[in-house]
Chain A
Amino acid sequence: MSRSRPYDVHEMRPGRVNIWQRGVPVWEAPIFTPTFVLLLLFIAIGTVLAGMRFMGGLGPFVGSTDEYAWGVWKTFNVMALTALGSGAMAIGIAAWVFHKKELHSIMRAALVTSFLFYFTGLVGLITDVGRPWNMWNALLPWKWNTESALWEVTIAMPIYCLIFLAFENSPLIVERIWFTGNKKQRDRIRKWRPRMRSIYPFMIAGAFVVPIGHQSSLGGLLVLAGDKVHPLWQSPVLPLLYLFQAAICGVAFVIVCVMASCLVWRRPLDMKVIGSLAKLLSGLILFWLVFRFADLIIRGQLGQAFELDAVSIAFLIENLLVLIPALVLLKPRLRETPRVAFTMALLACVGGLLYRFLPTTVTYSPGVEYIYFPSVAELLITAGLMSMAGAAYILAVKLFAVLPAPLRSWYAMMDHAKHERDSERKADA
């Protein structure tokens, strides 16, 4: 039997419309590439530094002071990057609640990236707190302060990541075991599958409520900081702004991530799905911008936005970075052009990250001369955390059926596997 090709070269031409039908592992690429090794190196550096940080105080490792008490591990890894990890919530709601069926093909990528952003955020949080050994208080409800936004974040983030996202990602692993495992394992999966599927809708609904809570709480964190946060950002509706902005970042990041992955591993694109996501993104951004500027006008702070000092310019850049994608992606022809969709989603990601990062750090003014800048060790640990997410993502797409592909890629993989088995048998004989 001749071995069939993974897919036809002509069908990989960029811009060609294809249909994503099924998640297929990137089975034809080796795992240990130079990029992967580089990521492992960053992880190693970060791990060593994090280990050293736990030998003593936080002081030598961070640029934080009593005035700028929170550094990048909290303000970037937790408060900014989990917004990028909200794709599972935003796209999940569109797919399961609003019944946008075409988005199911991209859900696996969204779930994996969300899990990784949240997981590395949690690791960052543990590295950041000064007395992590007291974290067991989180398990004792009578020690909770339920009116604290930070309590909600501390409780809900691990629950969301380690229960809901882990559960929703488990089909990846089960599926792999199904195809690689022995008869006993298959029997066990056959037995458990209906049970898993029967609780699945209840878990999905939970996986929407929990992030809605804590993504808005992340905004609530800043409300209590009062005047220290610049009035262009500080607002009583910050929780709602943060919530919708999480949806923006989540959708934009999934577009960027899936398109980049398809480019790197030569997968055909399904511009129908991307276009549908881009349309959603555009709508979300426009709604958010109207909401944000209405809030500025009601609070009488709109004038500050156009004073053209450093803060106002940062504010304008941040808004333009989301406004431009929103307008460009309104046009169906443009949002179904791969290059445009990718660039615009990337801009929206950067704008979203700025929105999350500026008010906690750059325009956060505790009224001292000192200006916070992260230390080298702090940045290296942050880089380590991001590399951890990157390396795990690469592993995930190569081992599990994460990235969407046409059906023929699936058959190609199966043919390949069969061919391998046959030649092994021949070699044995």
Chain B
Amino acid sequence: MSGYSRRDFLRTCGGTGLAVAAASSPVEARTPPKVPADAVGMLYDTTLCIGCKACVAACTEANDLVPDTALSGGLWQTPTALNSQTKNIIKLYQGETDWSFVKQQCMHCLDPACVSGCPFQALTKGDKGIVAWNPKQCIGCRYCEVVCPFKIPKFEWEKFNPKIVKCQMCDHRLDEFSQPACTQVCPTGAVTFGQRRMLLNEAKNRIAKNPGTYHEERVYGEKDGGGTQVLYLSHVPFGAIGLPKLSDKSLPSYGSKVHRMMTWFMVLPIMLYVFFVTLVRKNWREHDEEAMQAETEQGLRDQL
């Protein structure tokens, strides 16, 4: 037997390297998400919110949630953060010189990381661009919690058949009431509901009419994280009210591209497979011959 020369080794090596690199190298980012034509949204303005929490109570009622009364010992609904009983919350930010209320709920991203990461399409971006959860397809893996940059999805840790709890923009009552419970009850118009493009125009009008009022003179969510359907105007820094600094590219636009590429009609795995099969079969034939020879000489069967 001639053995395996250095050149053979390098050839095999280069081939495998190329195939592996091709199989998992990053590819061009997919085209940025378009805003769905019928995308609805909410606009929240910190300068108008009086912190009455009517929206919190209304959300609980509209979504049949059990009020979180843990902090008050069962007296009042007093959630301290979004949790599996709370899809919407008003929080207070107190800085040294400034302060602000802030409303938190799902941002309904234009290109949501949770939808991109969900293995079996339990989270989908459906009608009107609302990110909704489907109990029949959720396996409870909680990857949505890991990837959401706004930390919105919550898991029912205590339940036998746990649900993922997050704002779905009251999609179950939009037909009847034409808007979510929180915007319906808001007494000052701090949070309003409508078509996303209308809300974006409205927000830009407010910035133009009140120069110097709003932080960075811009709308949070227009482009942040690839754009969200819930938009924020704030008179304090966005970071202070819990809105993270995100790039204009959505997380899935680069975070999932390897897998989009790898599973693109399975072309790369198949190429890799063909490559491996060719070499393995060649080496297998040699192995087989030697094994059969040894079997006749020693009387010992080949071990695989």
A129-B140 contact in complex given A97-B279, A200-B284, C-beta closer than 8 Å: yes
Would A132 and B140 count as touching, CB distance under 8 A?
yes
Closest to A138 in B: B120
Instruction: Give B8-52 interface residues, CB cut-off 8 Å to A.
Output: 8-9, 12-13, 16, 20-21, 23-26
Within 8 A of A (CB), among B108-137: 113, 115-121, 136-137
Contact check, A130 vs B24: say whether CB atoms are below 8 A apart: no
Q: Are A149 and B273 in contact (CB under 8 A)?
A: no
Size category of the A interface is: 35 or more
CB distance from B282 to the nearest CB of A (A): 8
Contact yes or no, B258 A216, CB < 8 A: yes
- Let me know if B155 and A151 touch, CB within 8 A: no
Q: Contacts A132-B140, A148-B256 known; A236 to B251 CB distance under 8 Å?
A: no
* Closest chain A residue, CB of each to CB of B141: A129
Q: Quick check: is A22 within 8 A (CB to CB) of the other chain?
A: yes
Query: B145 contacts A224, CB within 8 Å?
Result: no
Scan A369-388; emit 1 where CB is below 8 A from any B CB, else 0: 00000000000000000000
- CB distance A239 to B24 under 8 Å? yes
A69→B155 contact, CB < 8 A = yes
- Say yes or no: B119 contacts A154, CB within 8 Å: yes
- Docked CA distance A268–B51 (Å): 76
With a cutoff of 8 Å between Cβ atoms, the chain A residues found around residue B13 in the complex are 98
Which A316-369 residues sit within 8 Å CB-CB of chain B?
A: 366-367
* Contact, CB under 8 Å: A147 / B260: yes
Interface check A152, CB cutoff 8 A: yes
Q: Do the beta carbons of A108 and B256 come within 8 Å of each other?
A: no
The answer to the question of B263 belonging to the interface, with a C-beta cut-off of 8 Å to chain A, is yes
Q: Which of B147, B157, B280 contacts A204 (CB 8 A)?
A: B280
Interface residue ranges of B274-304 to A (CB < 8 Å): 276-277, 279-281, 283-284, 286-288, 300-301, 303-304
Q: Decide if A208 touches B276 in the complex (CB within 8 Å).
A: yes
Query: Is A131 a contact of B139 with CB atoms below 8 Å?
Result: yes
Residue contact A220 to B304, C-beta cutoff 8 Å: no
- CB closest residue in chain B, given A401: B303
Establish whether residues A135 and B139, one from each chain, have CB atoms under 8 Å apart when the complex forms: yes
In the complex, B235 has a CB within 8 A of chain A: no
- Chain B nearest CB, measured from A418 CB (Å): 14
Interface status of B76 (Cβ within 8 A of chain A):
no
How long is the Cα–Cα vector from A104 to B160 in the complex, in angstroms? 47
A130 to B140, CA, bound (A): 4
Which residues does chain A contribute within 8 Å of B20, judged by CB atoms? 212, 243
| Chain B CB within 8 A of A59 CB | yes
Interface membership of A221, Cβ < 8 A: yes
> A129-B139, A147-B252, A152-B263 in contact; A216/B24 too (CB < 8 A)?
yes
**What's the least CB distance linking A136 to chain B, in Å?**
9
CB pair A66–B259 under 8 Å, yes or no, is no
> Whose C-beta in chain A lies nearest to the C-beta of B23?
A212
**Within 8 Å of chain A (Cβ to Cβ): is B83?**
yes
Does A12 reach chain B (CB closer than 8 Å)?
no
A201 at interface, CB cutoff 8 A: yes
Q: Is A70 an interface residue (CB 8 A)?
A: yes
Contacts of B158 in A (CB 8 A): 56-57, 59-60
Supposing A131-B162, A148-B119, A212-B20 touch, asked if A228 and B146 sit within 8 A by C-beta, the answer is yes
**How far is it, in angstroms, between the C-alpha of A23 and the C-alpha of B155 when the chains are bound?**
49
Instruction: Judge if B177 is at the interface, Cβ distance under 8 Å.
Output: no
Interface string of A220-251 (1 = CB under 8 A from B): 11011111100000001101100100000000
| Contact, CB under 8 Å: A66 / B154 | yes
Interchain CB contact under 8 A, B280 and A59: no
In the complex the two chains form, is B300's CB within 8 Å of A410's CB? yes
B67 at interface, CB cutoff 8 A: no
Instruction: Tell me the smallest distance from the CB of B271 to a CB of chain A, in Å.
Output: 10
Q: How far is the CB of A105 from chain B (nearest CB, A)?
A: 9
Contact B255 A223 (CB under 8 A): yes
Q: Which residues of B contact A98 (CB under 8 A)?
A: 4, 9, 12-13, 16
Q: A58-B157, A201-B277 are in contact. Are A97 and B24 (CB under 8 A)?
A: no
Q: B194 at the A/B interface (Cβ < 8 Å)? A: no
Does B136 contact A108, Cβ atoms closer than 8 Å? Answer: no
Judge whether A175 and B136 touch: CB under 8 Å: no
Contact flags B54-89 to A (C-beta < 8 A → 1, else 0): 000000000000000000000000000001100000
Q: Which of A132-182 contact B (CB under 8 A)?
A: 132, 134-135, 137-138, 143-152, 154, 168, 171, 175, 178
Min C-beta distance of A288 to chain B, whole Å: 13
Establish whether residues A236 and B280, one from each chain, have CB atoms under 8 Å apart when the complex forms. Answer: no
Measured in the bound complex, the distance between the Cα atoms of B23 and A183 in whole Å is 48
Minimal Cβ-Cβ distance residue in A for B288: A197
Q: Which of B84, B120, B142, B276 makes the CB contact (< 8 A) with A209?
A: B276
Minimal beta-carbon separation of A358 from chain B (angstroms)? 15
Please indicate the chain B residues that have their CB under 8 angstroms from the CB of A60 in the complex.
Answer: 158
Q: Which residues from 92 to 129 on chain A have a C-beta closer than 8 Å to any C-beta of chain B?
A: 93, 96-99, 101, 104, 107-108, 128-129
Between-chain CB contacts (< 8 Å), 19 pairs: A60-B158, A66-B155, A69-B145, A93-B276, A96-B283, A98-B9, A98-B16, A99-B283, A129-B140, A134-B139, A144-B120, A150-B117, A201-B277, A212-B24, A213-B269, A217-B258, A224-B251, A224-B256, A240-B25
The 9 closest A-B pairs by CB, nearest first: A130-B140, A59-B157, A224-B255, A131-B140, A69-B145, A205-B276, A151-B119, A69-B142, A205-B277
List B residues at the A interface (Cβ < 8 Å): 4, 8-9, 12-13, 16, 20-21, 23-26, 83-84, 113, 115-121, 136-143, 145-147, 149, 151, 153-162, 244, 246, 251-252, 254-256, 258-260, 262-263, 269, 272-273, 276-277, 279-281, 283-284, 286-288, 300-301, 303-304
